[in-house]
């Protein structure tokens, strides 16, 4: 295994600080890993501009790699192309649902104003009879829904394209 | 780089507008009319803080004089801030905040849509990212304007008054100066006169749907391009900058 492959593997063990069931690899924020002699450069793209988890990602990546004898690690922010929910892995979508967060749905109505609300199935009972309670939820990446059948409120990982 | 100073000023205007509005919206934290809106307004605030950080870091890099995002945000007085006048308007009641949101969000939406084509790669990347976020902001504010405008007699009267009151700060959004002219010629900046009709179309469509009336153009306040502000900005900065002024270089 090359050093790069080793690092990609190690990064799978770094959880998202807000949604610890998925890793930062599942989340799709790690863009490149480059190793030059003993210098490691990792480029990451943050999800939302103001996401407070970003600083935590960087510290967690640093400490994970240092524990594994990569001492010279630089984490750089890469802004372009912008992060999109298309970069979530299939694994992430499954884990999110199991955790009670509905994964992003393709939003077919592209109109900016007064778009038709996307149908988000309830992650608990799979009912499609759900309603949007708030565009903004517990973190920047989520909105708040409620199921009309099982009545449970749930987070929806909103589609960002 | 050519026209570095113009570019720095241009970035300051965008970054300062985001920062000041972010600070205003953060004042709603724990004061929202309901939990969902408390969270929504502070989420929008967080996006805007993040956007200003990207630009301040870029400015620090362009200037190369050891500045940091923090020294830029916390180390300047109001006459060195270039935020648009709307962003410093007090929150007022929830309807005032929502109408201010619509006017700014509609501007940001069209502005970032165009800025994605900037020849400056950093600004283009910044715009691409910010656009995704402000699209959500615009949806949020426009749906609330409709709900309040087409709501009860009282809510309608209140948001119509908000719209009439805030309208006089809208021309300031489109003010350009010599920096813009230089940067537009280089394909870096956006010609704001081209944004205005798009903005007006979006705002008009929301106002109509909300059964409100578009105010007539009367006296318009301007001045943000020359860093001339209302007295509200100084108070906002006092609050925001207090810790860093009292304890310079304090670290978490």
Query: Residue B122 contacts by C-beta under 8 Å, 6 or more apart in sequence?
Result: A79, B58
Would you call A91 helix, strand, or coil by DSSP?
helix
Do residues A118 and A41 touch, judged by C-beta distance below 8 A?
no
Give the span between the Cα atoms of B35 and B29, in whole angstroms: 10
Give the confidence band of A79 by pLDDT, cuts at 50, 70, 90: confident
**CA neighbours within 13 Å on the CB side: how many for B131?**
22
Mean pLDDT of A133-138: 86
With a cut of 70, say whether residue A39 has pLDDT above it: yes
Cβ contact A79–B125 (<8 Å): yes
Residue A53, chain B, CB below 8 Å: the answer is no
Residue A138, chain B, CB below 8 Å: the answer is yes
The whole-number pLDDT of residue A111 equals 75
Domain with residues A3-83, CATH architecture = 2-Layer Sandwich (3.30)
Mean pLDDT of B65-78: 94
Q: Domains in chain B, start-ordered, CATH in brackets?
A: 4-246 (1.20.1260.10)
ipTM passes above 0.90:
no
Q: Using alpha carbons, select from A54, A5, A158 the residue that is nearest to residue A96.
A: A158
What values do phi and psi take at A117, rounded to 5? -65, 140
pTM of the model: 0.92
Cβ contact B51–A115 (<8 Å): no
Mean pLDDT of A91-114: 87
Per-residue pLDDT tens over the stretch A45-57: 988 888 888 889 8
The fraction of chain B above a pLDDT of 70, given in percent, is 99
Do residues A141 and B132 touch, judged by C-beta distance below 8 A?
no
Q: Using alpha carbons, select from A126, A72, A71, A78 the residue that is nearest to residue A103.
A: A126
* CB nearest to B132's CB, from A50, A115, A160: A160
* CB nearest to B129's CB, from A82, A140, A158: A82
With a cut of 90, say whether residue B165 has pLDDT above it: yes
The whole-number pLDDT of residue B2 equals 65
In chain A, where are the structural domains located? 3-83, 101-157
The whole-number pLDDT of residue A116 equals 79
């Amino acid at each position: 295994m090359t050093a790069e492959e080793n690092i990609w593997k190690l990064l799978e063990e770094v959880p998202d600080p807000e949604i610890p069931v998925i890793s930062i690899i599942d989340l799709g924020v790690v863009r490149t890993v480059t190793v030059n002699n003993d210098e490691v450069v990792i480029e990451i793209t943050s999800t939302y501009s103001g996401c407070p988890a970003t600083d935590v990602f960087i510290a967690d990546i640093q400490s994970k790699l240092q524990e594994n004898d990569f001492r010279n690690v630089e984490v750089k922010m890469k802004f372009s192309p912008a992060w999109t929910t298309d970069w979530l892995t299939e694994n992430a979508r499954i884990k999110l649902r199991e955790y009670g967060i509905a994964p992003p749905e393709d939003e077919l109505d592209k109109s900016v104003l007064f778009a038709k609300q996307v149908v988000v199935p309830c992650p608990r009972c799979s009912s499609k009879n759900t309603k949007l309670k708030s565009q903004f939820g517990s973190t920047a990446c989520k909105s708040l829904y409620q199921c009309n059948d099982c009545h449970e409120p749930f987070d929806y990982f909103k589609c960002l394209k | 780089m050519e026209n570095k100073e113009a570019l720095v000023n241009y970035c300051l205007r965008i970054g300062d507008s985001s920062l000041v509005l972010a600070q205003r919206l953060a004042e709603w934290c724990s004061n929202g009319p309901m939990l969902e809106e408390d969270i929504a307004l502070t989420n929008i605030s967080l996006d805007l803080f993040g956007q200003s950080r990207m630009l301040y870091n870029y400015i620090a890099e362009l200037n190369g004089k050891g500045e940091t995002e923090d020294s830029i945000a916390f180390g300047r007085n109001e006459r060195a801030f270039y935020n648009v006048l709307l962003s410093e308007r007090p929150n007022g009641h929830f309807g005032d905040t929502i109408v201010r949101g619509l006017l700014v969000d509609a501007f940001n939406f069209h502005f970032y849509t165009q800025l994605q084509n900037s020849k400056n790669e950093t600004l283009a990347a910044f715009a691409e990212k910010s656009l995704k976020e402000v699209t959500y902001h615009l949806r949020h504010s426009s749906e609330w304007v409709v709900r309040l405008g087409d709501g009860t007699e009282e809510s309608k009267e209140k948001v119509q008054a908000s719209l009439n009151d805030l309208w006089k700060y809208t021309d300031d959004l489109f003010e350009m100066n010599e920096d813009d002219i230089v940067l537009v010629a280089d394909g870096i900046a956006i010609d704001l006169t081209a944004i205005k009709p798009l903005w007006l179309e979006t705002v008009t469509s929301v106002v109509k749907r909300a059964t409100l009336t578009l105010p007539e153009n009367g006296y318009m306040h301007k001045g943000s391009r020359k860093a001339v502000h209302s007295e509200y900005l100084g108070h906002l900065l006092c609050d925001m900058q207090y810790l860093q002024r009292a304890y310079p270089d304090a670290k978490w």
